Amino acid sequence: MQNKARIYTVSQVNLLVKVALEERLPSRLTVRGEISDWKLHKESGHCYFSLKDEDGILPCVMWASSCRSVKFSPEDGMAVLATGHIDVYVAGGKYQLYVERIEPEGVGALQLAFEQMVKKLAAEGLFDEARKKPLPEYPMRIGILTSESGAAIEDIKDSIWNRWPCTRLFLYPVPVQGEGAAQKIAAALRDVNRRNSKLSLEVLIVGRGGGSPEDLWAFNEEVLARAIYDSRIPVISAVGHEIDTTIADLVADARASTPTKAGVVAVPDMQEVLGRLAAIEGRLAGEITAGLELAGQRLQTLLASSVFRNPLLPVRNREQELDELQTALTGSVREMLTRAQRKLTESYEQVRKIEPHRLLGRKMVELNNWQNLANSGIKGIINSCRMKLTAAANRLAALNPKSVLQRGYSITTNRKTGLVVRGLGDVEIGDSLITELASENLIESKVTNKVKS
Amino acid sequence: MADKKQKNDISKMSFEEAIKELTSIVGKIEQGQIPLQDSLEQYERGMALIKHCRGILQQAEKRIEKISELEEKSKEQDG
């Protein structure tokens, strides 16, 4: 015989399961497991994943509102503690853990989030030393971004003015914890940078007093880190206590471990600077005094030198040289003269030995004799020459044709030809003739006849 | 006349600029490469710079000034 078992609908079964779970399970429980299949649904913001251990899995869902407050980034394989309640997802026919809170196992959520952010930003180079800007050495206009109330602003102000009272401080009040704080601080940083052509701030301090990791969380957020990195004005972080290190501390151009140390980092010590000025003053004065003394000494040395004590010395030296030269000159001239004199006397003696006067006398006599001889000789020669000449002259005179004329001869010349007539050929009948007689008398005649002998 | 002009331009110098020039003056004098007359002038200028620096250091602010977008906007409104 068949038992008439009750027949359930799917929905009834699901409802029964739901009720059973509600009765048997605590309304809230924490489950330890490893994340797998983590999916963030972009449109809704809801997260779907599974928790698993060696034997099985548990489907989970986390609504967007809860997802957003998770500080770290859940990843597949991560061991977590998920807190929530179990319920039946009727439409899917399964039970799920509706997760309200999730935490990494072993390490705090915040700690994990911090480590993840450090890795991410370090990889982008936001912490690089090379990109950190140098701080101004003597800042006179400093901007402070912190809460208006609270101890931090007082600590920062005191630590600065105790050391360097001449600087001006400018406060930009911002919230330093809670929802949206990081965004507001970041906005303030960007605002100050934008307006700095008017503000002329030389360095900025961003900070807050000590607190829990949650209190300090704004200074670990990415938006603030990027605003600090982008700031053209150098930024000093002064957050929390000594042992706290935030992302802001790592990105900033310099870090003060607490707000009370801000002064030490941001400004120099006025006393020390005054001391340096005094030292420079001393050095200057010292150098000038030394310089003047040195110049004075050099002057003294110069004055003491012989050039000044005995200025005419070179002149006198020259004069002495001149005297010596003169003496030398005179001496040698005298010597020359003496030598010349001696030579002259020697020569005179030599000449004297020859007895020139006697020699001269003898020679004069000789000369006279010769002269006489010469004279008579010459006279003789002249006489004989004269006789020869007279004889020659007589002979010549005898040959003179004109003397022939004296004897009655005449010379006849043809007037026309000018030639002496010697033959009949020299004349023609009718020619004029000139006849020269002795004593240059002339007869003119004409040829009338030629007679051959 | 040159003196007055010098004094004016020193009074406009920032602390940083004044210290920088001061250091260079001391260096020059200590190296002994400038003639005595010039070093006397540089000495005077150095003293003036020191006086200016001391003056800057001795002023003291007592109040923190506020800057924020609100402040800026209210200043703009006040005109």
Q: Could A136 and B16 be called an inter-chain contact, meaning their C-beta atoms sit closer than 8 Å? A: yes
Q: How many residues does chain A have?
A: 453
Q: Given this model, what pLDDT does residue B3 score? A: 58
Residue A308, pLDDT above cutoff 80: no
pLDDT digits over A432-450, tens only?
A: 999 888 888 889 999 898 8
Model pLDDT for residues A185-220, shown as the tens digit of each residue:
999 999 999 999 999 999 999 999 999 888 999 999
Spacing of C-alpha B44 from chain mean position: 15
Q: In angstroms, rounded to a whole number, what is the distance separating the alpha carbons of residues A60 and A331?
A: 139
CB contact under 8 A, A173 and B53: no
Angle between helices B36-58 and B15-31 (to 10 degrees): 150
Please report residues of B whose CB lies closer than 8 A to that of A270: 57
Residues of chain A with Cβ-Cβ distance to B29 below 8 Å are 284, 287-288, 291
Listed by number, the residues of chain B in 45-64 with a beta carbon closer than 8 Å to a beta carbon of chain A are: 46-47, 50, 53-54, 56-61, 64
CATH class belonging to A115-272 = alpha beta
Q: Tens digits of per-residue pLDDT, A88-138?
A: 988 888 999 999 999 998 778 888 999 999 999 999 999 999 999 999 999
Is the pLDDT reported for residue A2 higher than 60?
no
SS3 A359: helix
Asked if residues B29 and B37 have their Cβ atoms less than 8 Å apart, the reply is: no
CA angle B60, B63, B68 (to 5 degrees): 130
Binning pLDDT at 50, 70 and 90, where does residue B79 land? very low
Whether B30 contacts chain A with CB within 8 A: yes
Domain assignments of chain A as residue spans, ordered by start: 10-106, 115-272, 405-446
- pTM reported for the whole predicted model: 0.62
A10-106 classified as CATH 2.40.50.140: yes
Q: Kindly provide the b/e burial profile for residues B13-26, where b requires at least 16 CB atoms within 10 angstroms of the residue's own CB.
A: bebeebbebbeebb
Residues A362-394 as b or e (16 or more Cβ within 10 Å = b): eeeeeeeeeeeeeeeeeeeeeeeeeeeeeeeee
Rounded CA separation A247/B70 (Å): 28
Q: Is the pLDDT of residue B1 over 60?
A: no
Query: Which chain A residues have any C-beta within 8 angstroms of a chain B C-beta?
Result: 136-138, 140, 143-144, 153, 157, 161, 165-173, 188, 191-192, 195, 199, 270, 273-274, 277, 280-281, 283-285, 287-288, 291-292, 295
Distance from CA of B25 to the nearest CA of A (A): 9
Hey, is the C-beta of B15 within 8 angstroms of any chain A C-beta? yes
Strand A254-256's sheet: what is its strand order? Answer: A254-256, A235-239, A203-208, A141-146, A168-173, B65-66
Of A224, A249, A229, A220, residue with least CA distance to A124: A229
CB A179 within 8 A of CB A204: no
Contact call for residues A140 and A166 (beta carbons, < 8 A): yes
- B68 DSSP assignment: S
Closest Cα to residue A420, out of A408, A434, A407? A434
Q: How far is CA A53 from CA A24, A26, A33, A59, A229, in A?
A: 22, 21, 6, 12, 42
The pLDDT mean for chain A works out to: 89
* Distances A151 to A163, A235, A256, A423 between C-alpha atoms, Å: 19, 20, 15, 185
How does DSSP assign B24-53, residue by residue? HHHHHHHHT-S-HHHHHHHHHHHHHHHHHH
Q: What is the CA radius of gyration of chain B?
A: 19
Query: Do residue A171 and residue B66 have CB atoms under 8 angstroms apart?
Result: yes
Do residue B67 and residue A170 have CB atoms under 8 angstroms apart? yes
Choosing among A135, A162, A284, which should be mutated to test the B contact, i.e. which has the most B CBs within 10 A? A284
Name A340's Cβ contacts closer than 8 Å, sequence gap at least 6: none
Q: Please indicate whether, in this complex, the C-beta atoms of B53 and A277 are within 8 angstroms of each other.
A: yes
* A370-424 tens-digit pLDDT: 888 888 888 888 888 888 888 888 888 777 777 777 778 888 888 888 888 888 8
Q: Is it the case that residue B17 has pLDDT exceeding 70?
A: yes
Please give the structure tokens belonging to residue A411. 């010379």
More confident: A238 or A312: A238
Answer yes or no: are the C-beta atoms of A115 and A106 closer than 8 Å: no
CA distances from residue A119 to A3, A111, A112, A127 in whole angstroms, order as listed: 67, 12, 11, 10
pLDDT band of residue A355 (cuts 50, 70, 90) is confident
Question: In which element (H, E) is residue A30 found?
Answer: strand A29-40
**Which residues of B fall within a CB distance of 8 Å from A172?**
66-68
| Residue of A137, A192, A284 lying closest to B26 (CB–CB) | A284
pLDDT of residue A139: 95
